[in-house]
Structures are given as C-alpha cells and as structure tokens.
Amino acid sequence: MAERFVAARHALFTAHPARTVVLAFAAVVVIGAVLLALPLASEADTSTDFVTALFTSTSAVCVTGLAVVDTGTYWSDFGEGAILALIQVGGFGIMTMASLLALLVSGKLRLKLQLTAQAETKSLGIGDVRRVLLGVAGTTFAVEAAVGAALSLRLRYGYGFSIRDAMHEGYFHAVSAFNNAGFGLYGDSITRYADDPWITLPIAAAVILGGIGFPVLLELLRHRNRRRTTGRRNWTLHTRLTLITTAVLLATGTMLTCLLEWTNPGTLGTHTVPDKILNGFFHSAMSRTAGFNAVDIGAMQPATLLTTCVLMFIGGGSAGTAGGIKVTTFAVLLVAITAEVRGEPHSSVLGRRLAPHVLRQALTVALMGVALAMTATLALLSMTSLPFEGVLFEAVSAFGTVGLSTGITADFPRAGQLILVLLMFVGRLGPITLVSALALRERTRRYELPEERPVIG
C-alpha cells in the first residue's frame, strides 16, 4: 500500500510538475498570511490587515525580504518565528523542487517509467529523490548552523549581547542569509555593522553558498572527496558556468559599486578604504538576491541603482535560493551573442557545444523576465507619483526576489503592494516552472519546413 501511494504521488508530480510546485507554494503563502494576521503575531496584540500579512508571507516564502512594516518592531516573537519558518520552508522547498524538476527534466520519460515501476526496481527515481532531499536538508542546516554560530559569538563577545539575544539574532540572520531572504531584525538592515567583517562576511558567505544552487554545492562536495582519491577534478559544464559567472559578477559588482559610490557621503564616502571595499563587495553579493544592505540604498547614485538592477535581474544559480533569470541563463545568452558576432554556426563554451533548445529556453526566460518587470513597473507608475528609478528598482527587486529597496515599499497603495506580491510569486517560481515546462514539452518534429530568412536589424 505504501509503495502504491509513493508511486501515485510521484506519478502526479511527473504528470504536472509545474502545477504541483505553484499550488504547493500558493498554499504555504496563504497559510502564512493567516498566521501573521492573528493578533498574537503582532507586538500590539491586534489583528494585522490581510494585505500586510499576505505581503509579508509572500516575501518570506519567496525568500525576497521586501517589507511594508519593520520586522523587528512590528512582529511579536510568534510573528518572527512564523516568518523564520516560512523562510525556511520556502528556501528548502525551492531548492528541493528545483532540484527535483531538474532531475525530472534530465531523465524525462525514462525517469517517469522508472518511477511507475519503482515497486520492482528502486534505481534512479527513488534513490535520486531521497538523495536530493537529504542533500538539501544536510547542506541547509550545516551552513545555517555554522553561520549562526559565528554571528552569535560575534554578537555575544563583540557587542555584549546576552546569550539568548545573540543566538536569537545570530541564527535568525543566518537562516535569512542562506535562504537569500534578506529579512532582518533591524529597521536599517545591518548598516550598524557595516564596518564589521565578522558580521558582514559570514552573511555574505551564506548568501553566496545558498545562491549558487544545491546541484553545484553537491558536485563540489562530491568531487572534493573524489579528488582526494584520484587527484582529478571533472566538473560539469553547469558547475563551471555557475562558478565562473558568479565570480565575474561579484568582482564586477564590487568594482562598479566602489567606483560609483567612492566619494558619496551618503554611502561609502565616510568609510576608510578597506571598509569601502568591504561594503562594495557586500553590496555586490547582496544584489544577487539576498536583500541585506550595509549602506543606505536610497542615498545611492542613479548609476549605482541601475547597476544593482542589472545584478538583481540576473540573480544567482539554478536550483538555489536565489532568484532572477539565473547566472547560467545570462552566460548562455552571452555565449550565443559572442558566437553570432564571430559568425560561428554553433554556440560553444568551455569545450562544449550548446544545444539549440538551451539557447531558446534562455532567450525565452530572459525576455519574459524583462516583459514582466517592465509591465509591473508601468502598472506601479500609473498608480503612484513616486520617482521612476525607485519604482523600477522596487519592481526588479521583487521580480528577482532580492528585497533591496530605496525605502518606498510601504508608500505604495494597496493595489501596488498586491502587484508586488504577484511579482514576487511569479518571479520566484516563474523561471523554474517555465524552464521545466518548456523542457518537458520538447518534442521532435518529423518534418522540416522550407527555410527563409527575414531581415534583422
């Protein structure tokens, strides 16, 4: 009976994976909104209006970090605990679901057939599902425990916090950082620790590890053990693309932030040179969908805001807690552009040729992301008199599930906040479900149409 139930559950997932993911996360968002609307969830012991509760729940489950009320002062211990649980469920669920969808896409019908026959053969399907679940859980709790301990010790012995307060704030920010949520317990995020590398660097490390994706983390751990015995390191193209592109974007973001904000008294201008570089790096890392800020975002130059928008739109690695169109999508588009400029018939990178359908999927995800962010920006501008750069920044931050803000989130009318809710939800689950749906619908045409080339440009 148990085996039949497992087989039926997996058959449902393989039949409608995108629908299953969307419905599951929508249900968690609604449950979270109901919990946050309860009187005991607020410090004032009064019921929170449902739009605020829904906004906060969506931001937590979609690991975004945008907020219309101050997390540390508005919500009670119960409310903060509910938010932390929603962040954990959202981050764990996103990594798990994205990894399983990637597994499903790679196996396609072969995986589906093995799942339906799992009573006789417990091979790829069930084994890989169990491996994904245990791997995501182990990685998540190990990183959160290590970063939480580091932050707690620093708060306890560096700032004189009580043991309870140090652990409460340390582990809250550790969970929020690894899940790229950006929720903090201070109204100014972590600007009070802007010059403390013992606070900012552990948070940045957690953000980067959570953002590069579970498949990459798993492969790094597996090949580290293999290299000890064989001396060889053979990473997949996905891992190499993710690591290289992530490193390039981190370095580029750090350089541009420092260059543009070096003399700005509202951001980096008052810091020492080492602290300027530290905060430039921290902002670059947070722009990859984390949401914490150590300097005032609202005081940044327009050029820096635009640079941040680009980084937020790209996001982090696939099957991780980061949002955006993903670094591999960005890398594939760059490779395709380079091949076209050179006049090469095929797109290739790092010794591998990219399949045409991969290029089409990358282009589809990127253009649909642009359309979604621009449509939301237009809708928000039509209902508010807020400045264009702030509204655009807010829309891209919501789509990329980043959580960075120039401080205008609470200034939007209720209708605008609901648009941001929809944008966070679609931005978080859209790329995952879209790519899986495109890959699973892929079919081979048994005939070819006559070729003709329209004029381009």
pLDDT in tens, 154-213: 999 999 999 999 999 999 999 999 999 989 888 888 999 999 999 999 999 999 998 888
| pLDDT of the residue at 257 | 96
Instruction: Please check whether residue 453 lies inside any domain of the structure.
Output: no
| pLDDT of the residue at 280 | 95
Instruction: Please check whether residue 289 lies inside any domain of the structure.
Output: yes
Low-confidence ranges of the chain (pLDDT < 50): 2, 5-6, 9, 11-15, 108-126
| pLDDT of the residue at 118 | 35
pLDDT in tens, 390-414: 999 999 999 999 999 998 999 999 9
Instruction: Please check whether residue 368 lies inside any domain of the structure.
Output: yes
How many other C-beta atoms are found inside a 10 Å radius of the C-beta of residue 355?
11
| pLDDT of the residue at 452 | 72
User: Side chain identity at 420, as an amino acid letter?
Assistant: L
CA-based torsion, 293, 245, 176, 395: positive or negative: positive
Rounded to two decimals, the pTM is 0.85
Closest Cα to residue 254, out of 246, 266, 243? 246
Counting the structural domains of the chain, the total is 1
Instruction: Please check whether residue 409 lies inside any domain of the structure.
Output: yes
Distance from the Cα of residue 144 to its chain's centroid: 16
| pLDDT of the residue at 233 | 60
pLDDT in tens, 310-360: 999 999 888 778 888 999 999 999 999 999 888 888 888 888 888 887 888
| pLDDT of the residue at 322 | 83
DSSP code of 212? S
User: In the structure encoding, which two tokens stand for residue 157, read together?
Assistant: 């012995």
HEC letters along 25-52: HHHHHHHHHHHHHCHHHECCCCCCCHHH
Instruction: Please check whether residue 165 lies inside any domain of the structure.
Output: yes
CB 201 within 8 A of CB 177: no
CA dist list (Å): 322 to 70, 131, 223, 239, 457:
23, 21, 23, 16, 34
| pLDDT of the residue at 7 | 52
CA distance 407 to 403: 11
Burial of 168: CB neighbours in 10 Å, binned 0-12, 13-18, 19+: middle
Instruction: Please check whether residue 224 lies inside any domain of the structure.
Output: yes
Instruction: Give every CB contact of residue 316 below 8 A, 6+ residues apart in sequence.
Output: 180, 211, 212, 213, 246, 288, 289, 322, 323, 324, 326, 327
Please give the radius of gyration of the chain, using alpha carbons only, rounded to the nearest integer.
22
CA distance 133 to 96: 6
Instruction: Please check whether residue 455 lies inside any domain of the structure.
Output: no
Instruction: Please check whether residue 445 lies inside any domain of the structure.
Output: no
- Domain extent at residue 310: 2-440
Strands (E), 115-216: none
